[in-house]
């Protein structure tokens, strides 16, 4: 699939996509391509001003809705406005922030990247007709699933480790969701993607020297621009891919969509069960897969 491009996406007329964090970067590029292929796209964003600019550029196929994944009341409010959706793309994320907490007291990266999307997916699952696409990251390779301290209340905080934890949680959740979908005999799919090294607004907020290294990498084109970084998630959202499949750039950091590998811990059932249970407890959302 290394030569795959968006012009190979089938006609998307009649399909509705909800894309979190579509006010910039990968989410904005994903929304624009899907709309160009005929889809209706809902830009579910915290920053409505930026989202409006993207929606204006896309045209009438795009609508903007407020969603703050760092506030479970906002997640519930948004989910209540959705009647039916074909594809949910869990795209939004924050990276390597200094220690901050969500409205519900979660560590900001775990709260936004995983727990917010866990709750949103659970609330929208009964309204979903086709698939959930969850964005992970190569950073999951350095993550851990500490269910006894998911929100960094006991450990000395490390912003990069916390980011890795959240992206590993994305993968563990998405793959366990895929298993439960199969067990329920459902026609839904849970698919995962990662963008490789993509130059987006996600970079540059760690307030450490690493920000300069990442920006230098983007300038030197070590990775790829946002429109190329969006290819794996676009492929995962529109192609006839298997439930539980994982997609990333063919050259790892860049390139067209290709099957990707993840750490073996993602397939550890005890880890999956523990993360699922603590996620339900913290969010108050029970995620049931409809048959």
Task: Compute the mean pLDDT over every residue in the chain, rounded to the nearest whole number.
Answer: 93
Q: Where are the alpha helices (DSSP H) in 10-82?
A: 25-36, 48-58, 72-81
The Cβ of residue 51 has, within 10 Å, a number of other Cβ atoms equal to: 27
Provide the number of structural domains found in the chain.
1
Catalytic annotation present for 157: no
Order of strands, sheet of 85-90, starting from the edge strand that comes earlier in the sequence:
62-66, 40-45, 16-20, 85-90, 128-135, 189-193, 246-249, 257-259
Its pTM surpasses 0.75: yes
Asked, for residue 17, whether it belongs to a domain, the answer is yes
Asked, for residue 2, whether it belongs to a domain, the answer is no
| Sequential pLDDT tens for the chain (291 residues) | 658 999 999 999 999 999 999 999 999 999 999 999 999 999 999 999 999 999 999 999 999 999 999 999 999 999 999 999 999 999 999 999 999 999 999 999 999 999 999 999 999 999 999 999 999 999 999 999 999 999 999 999 999 999 999 999 999 999 999 999 999 999 999 999 999 998 765 555 445 555 544 454 445 455 689 999 999 999 999 999 999 999 999 999 999 999 999 999 999 999 999 999 999 999 999 999 998
Asked, for residue 5, whether it belongs to a domain, the answer is no
Domain with 31, as residue range(s), is 11-283
Asked, for residue 58, whether it belongs to a domain, the answer is yes
Asked, for residue 6, whether it belongs to a domain, the answer is no
Asked, for residue 150, whether it belongs to a domain, the answer is yes
Asked, for residue 147, whether it belongs to a domain, the answer is yes
For residue 263, the domain's CATH number is 3.40.50.720
From 163, 197, 235, 262, the catalytic residue: 163
Q: Are 115 and 282 in contact (CB under 8 A)?
A: yes
Query: What is the C-alpha to C-alpha distance for residues 236 and 240, in angstroms, rounded to an integer?
Result: 8
pLDDT tens by residue, 15-25: 999 999 999 99
Asked, for residue 79, whether it belongs to a domain, the answer is yes
Give the model's pLDDT for residue 199: 78
């Amino acid at each position: 699939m290394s030569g795959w491009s968006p012009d190979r996406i089938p006609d998307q007329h009649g399909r509705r996509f909800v894309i979190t964090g579509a006010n910039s970067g990968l989410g904005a590029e994903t929304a624009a391509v899907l709309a160009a292929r005929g889809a209706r796209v809902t830009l579910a964003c915290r920053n409505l001003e930026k989202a409006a600019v993207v929606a204006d550029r896309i045209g009438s196929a795009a609508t903007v809705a407020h969603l703050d994944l760092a506030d479970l009341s906002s997640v519930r409010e948004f989910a209540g406005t959705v009647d039916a959706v074909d594809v949910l793309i869990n795209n939004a994320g924050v990276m390597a922030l200094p220690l901050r907490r969500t409205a519900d007291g979660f560590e900001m990266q775990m709260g936004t990247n995983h727990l917010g999307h866990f709750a949103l997916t659970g609330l929208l699952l009964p309204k979903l007709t086709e698939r959930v696409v969850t964005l992970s990251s190569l950073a999951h390779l350095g993550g851990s699933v500490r269910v006894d301290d998911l929100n960094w209340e006991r450990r000395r905080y490390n912003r990069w480790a916390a980011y890795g934890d959240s992206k590993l949680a994305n993968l563990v959740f998405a793959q366990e969701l895929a298993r439960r979908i199969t067990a329920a005999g459902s026609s839904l799919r849970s698919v995962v993607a990662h963008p490789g090294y993509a130059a987006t607004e996600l970079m540059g907020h760690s307030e450490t020297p690493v920000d300069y290294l990442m920006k230098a990498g983007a300038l030197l084109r070590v990775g790829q621009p946002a429109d190329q970084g969006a290819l794996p998630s676009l492929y995962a959202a529109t192609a006839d891919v298997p439930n539980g499949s994982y997609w990333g750039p063919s050259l790892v950091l860049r390139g067209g969509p290709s099957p990707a590998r993840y750490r073996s811990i993602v397939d550890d059932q005890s880890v999956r069960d523990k993360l699922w249970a603590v996620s339900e407890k913290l969010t108050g959302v029970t995620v049931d897969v409809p048959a």
